[in-house]
Amino acid sequence: MTAGNNGADTPENDDPFGYLYRSEGGEGGAGPSGDGGAARQPGVPRTSYNQVRAVGQRQYGGQQAPQQSYGQQNAHYAAPETLPGGGERTRQAPAYGGQEPRRGRNGLLIGAVAVVAVVCIGIGVAMLTNSGDTKNDTAQKPGPTAGDSVEPSAQPSTKPSPGALPKDDAGALRLSGGATTAKDIKGAQSASGSYVTGFNQVGAKVQWTLDVPAAGDFRLNVHYSIPGEDANATLSVNGKPNAAPLGLKNFTHHPKGDWVQGWQTTWAPVTLNKGTNTIEIACAQGNQCNAILDQVWLTGANQ
């Protein structure tokens, strides 16, 4: 194209969006631009710029639908709830604070209470388990060695387990009057292998403080050794001497002077109170006390 013949008659007429505001006329238009208006005259401004229509008044290829004012009900409109079955299909969401949100909060509250209950039960089980872990101290006290001084004990020398009767090494008891401990002669059954010696003199004593679960008659058992000849001692219970002495006889009939073969056991009946009692074995005037003492323990009256 040459200048002056490049499309529109004037530059302002070369508008690619002119079809939006051109006047409506016949099919294809009568003007030079085919917009259906009057023929364009050079130099005359188009008037389609001022042809302003209200929203909704423009026709698009057919009959224009009547406009409806805001807020005015359409005569053809029918509410859904007026239609058959419409009310049943319409479900209004529950307002805030209604039943459904409350169910959610109740579910969370129940879950929290259940967690707290489980924790409390676990703590209670742990406390009950720990309370049953107490152990009884049944270890025996080792006896002193030869030459050691023995301190008097005001407490019972044994702590038997529930239901068991007390038993002790003689060397762990309260000794006085020249009685002491030694380990020279083999065969003692005490934990340390020691025994009470120096008993062969008037005034020598072995005192045993013990606890019993109930009052009654018992047997006092004594493990001892003699050099092949009979011996005896005075037996007292809670400060009262028994009518018969404690016999330390040569029941095994081993040779005289043989201490290693002279180990054996004797017993005597005793009547004790419930709780703490004191049993004393002493070398009194008139006793034959050439013996060594190893262990003492209680059994039932018929054992």
Tens digits of residue pLDDT in 38-58:
555 565 555 544 455 555 555
Query: Can you count the helices (H) and strands (E) in the chain?
Result: 2, 12
Amino acid identity at 159: K
- Using only the alpha carbons of the chain, give its radius of gyration: 61
Tens digits of residue pLDDT in 14-29:
566 666 655 554 444 4
Closest to 255 in 3D by CA, of 233, 231, 226? 226
Q: What does pTM read for this prediction?
A: 0.48
Mean predicted lDDT score pLDDT of the chain: 73
The pLDDT, as a whole number, for residue 55 is: 57
The pLDDT, as a whole number, for residue 110 is: 85
Percent pLDDT > 70 in the chain is: 53
The predicted model gives 6-10 an average pLDDT of: 51
Q: How many CB atoms lie within 10 A of CB 179?
A: 27
Here the tokens at position 276 are 């703490």
The predicted model gives 4-13 an average pLDDT of: 52
The yes-or-no verdict on residue 195 having pLDDT over 60 is yes
3-state SS assignment for residue 279 = strand
**What residue ranges define each of the domains in the chain, with the CATH number in brackets?**
1-35 (no CATH), 167-300 (2.60.120.260)
Give 6-73 as a 3 state SS string. CCCCCHHHCCCCHHHCCCCCCCCCCCCCCCCCCCCCCCCCCCHHHCCCCCCCCCCCCCCCCCCCCCCC
Closest to 241 in 3D by CA, of 249, 250, 232, 253? 232
The yes-or-no verdict on residue 64 having pLDDT over 70 is no
C-alpha–C-alpha distance, residues 278 and 9, integer Å: 143
The pLDDT, as a whole number, for residue 120 is: 81
Tens digits of residue pLDDT in 260-283:
999 999 999 999 999 999 999 999
Tens digits of residue pLDDT in 100-135:
455 566 777 888 888 888 888 888 777 776 665 544
C-alpha–C-alpha distance, residues 40 and 48, integer Å: 11
Long-range contacts: 197-200, Cβ < 8 Å, 24+? 197/292, 199/233, 199/283, 199/289, 199/291, 199/292, 199/293, 200/283, 200/289, 200/290, 200/291
Which of 151-155, 221-225, 264-268 bottoms out in mean pLDDT, i.e. has the lowest? 151-155
Q: Which carries the bigger pLDDT value, residue 228 or residue 155?
A: 228
